Amino acid sequence: MSAADRLIVALDVNSREAALALCAALRPKVRHYKIGLELFTACGPDLVRDLLRAGAQIFLDLKLHDIPNTAARAAVEAARLGVGMFTIHLSGGPLMARRVADEVTAHCEIHGTPRPRILGVTVLTSLAQQDLASVGVTRSLEEQVVALAEMAGQAGLDGVVASPREVGRLRAVLGPEMTIVTPGVRLAGGESQDQARTLTPREAVAAGADYIVAGRPILSARDPLEAAETILLQIEGR
């Protein structure tokens, strides 16, 4: 997989205009974009459709987490939009995860449409061990990530989202088929900001990540395209 295929740029903005402008600026180098809660809440599914029509590939990161029936219905709507990947929160449990996978698969088979990859979010990259303890999780952070990732595979999901720090262990446990997406990467020499468990893009890929999500290193740059090119070079190890 090329570096350009591995990079997903997070459209962490709150307007249609800002999102389209950023995509236009990055178009020579970037193919994949993540739409999260802020932008989706601000602009809704119409922006997703517009970006898809413009040739972008969309990772819809809404981290669905609800009772199985509600989560599955929302997941089917994500599939109906035509996104390539979307997320659910694995803390929603195995029944929710299995229901989402089954409903999306059935919908896509009935309508003859491509099935998006369903990714389970393990433990947010902003959390550390003491944060898990504060909500009653007694496993170590790494054990919690691995347990949730194994549940994702058993439920029929296509991959997981995890911090770069857990990628090596996850790849060993999950094998080569499951997709691993890693947010929270930082540029070599950059600050980690509110991410507790980070690596550089090259370190994350070397550990076994399939996709790297980058937001602030690009959005906060004076020249976003140049920042994206820097990340691509770092993914390649240059």
Catalytic residue among 32, 34, 63, 89: 63
Residues with Cβ < 8 Å from 69, sequence gap 6 or more?
99
Structure tokens at 117: 């990859």
Identify the bridge partners of residue 182 per DSSP, sorted by sequence position. 212
Task: Give the residue among 60, 120, 65 at the shortest CA–CA distance from 86.
Answer: 60
CA angle 133, 131, 137 (to 5 degrees): 30
Contacting residues for 57 by C-beta, under 8 A, at least 6 apart: 31, 32, 33, 84
Q: Is 29 a catalytic residue?
A: no
Instruction: Give catalytic residues, as residue numbers.
Output: 63
